[in-house]
Chain A
Amino acid sequence: MKRWMWRRSLPSRRFLAIVPPFVWLGLFLLLPFLLVLKISFAELKFGIPPYTPLAALKDEVLTLSLSLRGYALLFSDSLYIATYLSSVKMAAVTTVCCALIGYPMAYYIARSHPSVRNVLLLGVILPFWTSLLLRVYAWVGILRNDGLLNKFLQGIGLISAPLEIYRTDLAVYIGLIYAYLPFFILPLYANLVKLDNRLLEAAYDLGARPWNAFLRITLPLSMPGVIAGAMLVFIPSVGEYVIPEMLGGADTLMMGRVMWTEFFNNADWPMAAAVTCVMVMLLLVPLVIFQYGQVRQLEQQQRRRNGKA
């Protein structure tokens, strides 16, 4: 009897646990996205809202009108395609740079004495206490032709004319790497700090020099952290608006800026929505790969547990 009750109550309890996140995702992710998707198939129109409805009751006949103008334009105008490619490229370069800079930092923090560790972690998190906008403004001040960097370099006599960094792609890279570096460091740190030191000792014991032990033991075992960090950097970088807008030049092509222009300058909501939808699809690819990797890892753990039993 008791057993029966327990079994009966199990699905409902599981259901209760899953409902809140599902409702949350449905209301704040799926629904807005469906709205955007709807708008992307609408026709441009002056007025409020600035697009036509998809379905209309005309002379007691329900007419459904889907416009593919936005998508057609997207794939015919080379500028959009170039922007997508450029966004992905910039996000990819940012991710690689974050990995190259962030890995040693995460490694160093994870290896340092526990009392120092928290101070160093705080140092990584500290910039979040200031608004991103302010921090990017600070970079404007540093990178401008008459900014801190140029003044300093000219002051010590290294260069005679100011370096043109501000309003170039380089400035955008600097801004992106700066802003997203903590997102790479934190998950990787969480992974590295769990690494069993005895595995490294075992590697040394078996004749591996420190660098070899790192390559064969630490690096492969920290890959889940690297992948998680890379996702956290890559995905928001692709759609980043503030940094390319404030640091990039007129020729810095990034999706976020195109969306802004379409929405606010051209007031072309359907076009902007189409740009957004394609970008979401673009971002789904790495996400799905990531998810697949995680599921496989979970399955492996499951198999391990079954194997042990």
Chain B
Amino acid sequence: MLDTRGPAPSWSGDAEEFVRVEDVVKIFGDTVAVQSVSLSVRRHEVFALLGSSGCGKSTLLRMLAGFEEVTSGRIYLDNEDITQLPPYRRPVNMMFQSYALFPHMTVEANVAFGLKQEGVARNEIHERVFEALDLVQMAGFARRKPQQLSGGQQQRVALARSLVKRPKLLLLDEPMSALDKQIRQKTQIELVKILDQVGVTCIMVTHDQDEAMTMADRLAVMSEGQIIQCGTPQDVYAFPNSRFVAGFIGSTNLFTGTIVVDEPDHVLIESADLTRPLYVSHGVSEPLGMEVHVSIRPENIRVLREQPDSESNWAHGMVSHVAWMGSYARYQIRLDSGASLEASVPSLVLAQADAPGLDDEVFVAWSDDSATVLPS
């Protein structure tokens, strides 16, 4: 099937398209908050919009909820054009960043609010409210006011309130931002379990890449109102399409160099920063002599005392800083060229007697398949 609607979706196959955002633009006064964003989300998928503040991810979410009108473009949900629908007529519910629980109502009344607006019968409301509260294990708190709950409990109530109407699409706005760091990771996994159990399609917004990686089936990295890259967390992490994404998702070492050998199965890149050329075991579309950027993740770099015997993919330097992170140590290495490089060394390696220490001369090396050439 030919897709004529613009850029092809980054996922292949014929999975069902449930939400389609088509060339959506949002302009506030003279600032462009969202510029021509297109994306599609599959049924039952958890999709994350990832970006730093001001990148337009929240505006996009608010347009999906109906709080902001699109300047141009269309939004489809389950084959229905919802672009012009007011928020109260969209089969979409949102869990707000600050939860926005009604302070003058009990937990039960908060969750029941949406059903009452729909005109559901009273005994059915009661049944469905407690079903939703059971789902988030908050049934015992039905008579409390929101202020009498902890942050984590408020979040569960907010989740129950946004799920009780069985929306076609659930929106999560920075779902973990109001929680303490300690309970975040646990809550992330719990939340995904609940979403899975309910089987709701979900679009979430976050600035936290760990959160997006933990929770999302696919994610889109946004910057300056545009989607830079879209794909599964693994794909985006392993094959970032730009320096921005490589730096945003996880930390990385970036080198600039020129292509000196270009073969179908590998390229050789000469970089002034490194002692030996970079050998990359995948072909690139850039021509010979072209300046390119190469990303190497810190966890793919080995720190050695002896000089590697290979022709490529290593450099010589000195350990300038060691940060102990618990399960691994982050080494800062100053290369002979003056460039700085970061390497993650697992604790197991560190425990060995001859583990390199501060100010030691070392060699850093990586395998042929760990460097990625970035198109931009």
A and B: bona fide binding partners = yes
Residues of A participating in the B interface, judged by any CB pair closer than 8 Å: 196, 198-199, 201-209, 212, 216-217, 220-221, 303-304, 307-308
With A203-B113, A304-B147 known as contacts, the answer to whether A198 contacts B88 (CB < 8 A) is no
A196, A209, A217: the one contacting B88 at CB < 8 Å is: A209
Contact in complex: B103, A206 (CB < 8 Å): no
Query: Bound state CA distance, A171 and B340, in angstroms?
Result: 84
Report whether A205 and B94 are in contact in the complex, using a CB–CB cutoff of 8 Å: yes
Nearest Cβ on chain B to A295's Cβ, whole angstroms: 18
Distance in angstroms between the alpha carbons of A166 and B117 in the assembled complex: 49
A205 & B147 in contact (Cβ 8 Å cutoff): no
Chain B residues lying within 8 Å of A217, measured Cβ to Cβ, are: 102
Collect the chain A residues with CB atoms within 8 Å of residue B96's CB: 198, 201-202
Q: Which residues of B contact A206 (CB under 8 A)?
A: 88, 93, 113-114, 117, 161, 165
CB distance from A198 to the nearest CB of B (A): 4
Question: CB distance A208 to B113 under 8 Å?
Answer: yes
Give the residues in chain A near B102, CB-CB below 8 Å. Answer: 199, 202-203, 217
CB distance from A227 to the nearest CB of B (A): 14
13 further interface pairs, Cβ-Cβ under 8 Å (given A201-B67, A204-B67, A206-B113): A201-B65, A201-B100, A202-B100, A204-B88, A205-B67, A206-B93, A207-B88, A207-B89, A207-B114, A207-B118, A208-B88, A212-B117, A220-B104
Residues of A with C-beta under 8 A to B100: 196, 198-199, 201-202
Question: In this complex, what residue of A is CB-closest to B173?
Answer: A198
B287 at the binding interface (Cβ < 8 Å): no
Q: Which residues of A contact B92 (CB under 8 A)?
A: 205
**Residue from A196, A198, A204, A220 in contact with B87 in the complex, judged by beta carbons closer than 8 Å:** A204
Task: Tell me, yes or no, whether B86 is within 8 Å of chain A by CB.
Answer: yes
B180 to chain A, nearest CB (A): 13
Query: Which residues of the partner chain B approach A202 to less than 8 Å between Cβ atoms?
Result: 94, 96, 100-102
- Of the candidates A198, A202, A212, A304, the one having the most CB atoms from chain B within 10 angstroms of its own CB is A202
A207 touches B117 (CB 8 A): yes
Nearest CB of chain B from residue A213's CB, rounded to whole Å: 8
User: In the docked arrangement, what's the CA distance between A209 and B161, Å?
Assistant: 17
Assuming the contacts A201-B87, A205-B88, A304-B145, asked whether A221 and B103 have C-beta atoms less than 8 A apart, the reply is: yes
Q: Give residues 56-77 of B contacting A (CB, 8 Å).
A: 65-67
B148 contacts A304, C-beta separation under 8 Å: yes
- CA–CA, A106 and B67, complex, Å: 24
Q: For the complex, would chain A's binding face be called helix, strand, loop or mixed by DSSP majority?
A: helix
- Alpha-carbon separation in the docked complex, A197 to B290 (Å): 53
Look across to chain B and name the residue whose beta carbon is closest to the beta carbon of A217: B102
Inter-chain contacts of B94 with A (CB < 8 A): 202, 205
Asked if B150 is at the interface (CB within 8 A of a chain A CB), the reply is yes
Shortest Cβ distance from residue B219 to the other chain A in the assembled complex, whole angstroms: 23
Give how many B residues have a beta carbon under 8 Å from the other chain's beta carbons.
29
Name B's A-contacting residues (CB within 8 A).
Answer: 65-67, 86-89, 92-94, 96, 98, 100-104, 113-114, 117-118, 145, 147-150, 161-162, 165
Please give me the 9 A-B residue pairs with the lowest Cβ-Cβ distance, nearest first: A206-B114, A207-B117, A202-B100, A304-B147, A307-B148, A204-B87, A198-B100, A204-B88, A208-B117
In the complex, 18 of the A-B residue pairs with CB atoms within 8 angstroms, ordered by the A residue number, are A196-B98, A199-B100, A201-B65, A201-B87, A202-B94, A202-B101, A203-B113, A204-B86, A205-B67, A205-B94, A205-B162, A206-B117, A207-B114, A208-B88, A221-B104, A304-B148, A308-B147, A308-B150
- How far apart are the CA atoms of A208 and B98 in the complex, in Å? 19
Shortest distance from the beta carbon of B51 to any chain A beta carbon, whole Å: 21
Residues of chain B contacted by A216 (CB below 8 angstroms): 113
Distance of B366 from chain A, by nearest CB (Å): 48
**Chain A residues positioned under 8 Å from B162 (CB to CB):** 205
A221 contact set on B, CB distance < 8 A: 103-104
B96, B101, B117, B161, most chain A CB atoms within 10 A = B117
> What A residues does B117 contact at CB under 8 A?
206-209, 212
Question: In the assembled complex, how far is the CB of residue A215 from the closest CB belonging to chain B, in whole angstroms?
Answer: 11
Smallest CB–CB gap between A29 and chain B, Å?
Answer: 34
Give the residues in chain B near A303, CB-CB below 8 Å.
148
Residues on B with C-beta less than 8 A from A308 are 147-148, 150
Closest to B150 in A: A308
Chain A residue nearest in CB terms to B98:
A198
Distance to closest chain A CB from B157 (angstroms): 12
Alpha-carbon gap, A201 to B117, bound state (A): 14
B98 surroundings in chain A (CB, below 8 A): 196, 198
Determine the chain B residues whose CB is within 8 A of the CB of A304 once the complex forms. 145, 147-148
Partner of A205 from the list B93, B101, B104, B118 (CB cut-off 8 Å) is B93
Rounded to whole Å, the gap between the CB of A233 and the closest CB of chain B is 24
Quick one: given A198-B96, A198-B100, A221-B104, are A205 and B148 in contact (CB under 8 Å)? no
Q: How far is the CA of A304 from the CA of B145 in the complex (A)?
A: 9
Q: Whole-angstrom distance between the alpha carbons of A303 and B118 in the complex?
A: 34
Q: Which residues does chain B contribute within 8 Å of A220, judged by CB atoms?
A: 104
A220's closest neighbor in chain B, by CB?
B104
| C-alpha spacing A217/B145, complex, angstroms | 15
Min distance, Cβ B355 to any Cβ of chain A, angstroms: 46
B289 vs chain A, min Cβ distance (A): 55
Bound: A221/B102 CA distance, A? 9
CA distance A216 to B114 in the complex (A): 12
Q: How far is the CA of A206 from the CA of B100 in the complex (A)?
A: 12
How far, in Å, is A293 (CB) from chain B's closest CB? 14
Q: Which A residues touch B89, using CB under 8 A? A: 207
CB B214 to nearest CB in A, in angstroms, measures 25
Whether the Cβ atoms of B88 and A307 lie closer than 8 Å is: no
Cα distance, A203 to B94, chains bound together (Å) = 10
Q: In the bound complex, what is the Cα–Cα distance between A303 and B145 (angstroms)?
A: 11
Q: Smallest CB-CB separation from B158: which chain A residue?
A: A202
| Smallest CB separation, B99 vs chain A (Å) | 9
Measured in the bound complex, the distance between the Cα atoms of B148 and A204 in whole Å is 25
Q: Separation in Å of the A300 CB from the closest CB of chain B? A: 8
What is the minimal beta-carbon distance from B110 to any residue of chain A, in angstroms?
9
